[in-house]
C-alpha cells in the first residue's frame, strides 16, 4: 500500500519539476500566474513531505519557496489590473 506521505511528496516533486521544465523549454514564462501557482503548490507539498520525514531544513526551504511563489503570484495579479 502506498503511503499518503509518498503520494504527497511525489505530487509535489512532479508539480515543481513541471513548472521548472516548462519554463526551461520556453512554454511557461516566470511572469505567468501558472508558474507561481505550480511553484507554490509543489513547494508546499514538498514541505509537508519533508516535515513528515522530519527533514526540517528541507521543510524550511520549501515553505520559503512556496511563500515566494505566493508573493510573486500576488504581484502578478495586482499588475494585471
Q: What is the pLDDT of residues 10-52, one digit of tens each?
A: 999 999 999 999 999 999 999 999 999 999 999 999 999 999 9
> How many structural domains does the chain have?
1
What value does the mean pLDDT take over residues 52-56?
A: 95
pLDDT at residue 1, rounded to an integer:
55
Residue 30: domain span: 4-79
pLDDT at residue 74, rounded to an integer:
96
pLDDT at residue 30, rounded to an integer:
94
CB 9 within 8 A of CB 45: yes
pLDDT at residue 80, rounded to an integer:
81
DSSP state, 53? T
What pTM was computed for the model?
0.92
Amino acid at each position: 500500500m502506498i503511503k499518503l506521505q509518498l503520494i504527497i511528496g511525489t505530487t509535489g516533486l512532479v508539480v515543481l519539476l513541471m513548472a521548472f521544465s516548462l519554463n526551461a523549454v520556453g512554454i511557461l514564462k516566470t511572469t505567468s500566474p501558472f508558474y507561481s501557482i505550480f511553484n507554490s503548490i509543489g513547494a508546499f507539498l514538498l514541505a509537508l513531505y519533508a516535515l513528515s520525514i522530519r527533514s526540517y531544513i528541507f521543510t524550511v526551504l520549501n515553505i520559503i519557496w512556496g511563500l515566494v511563489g505566493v508573493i510573486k503570484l500576488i504581484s502578478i495579479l495586482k499588475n494585471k489590473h
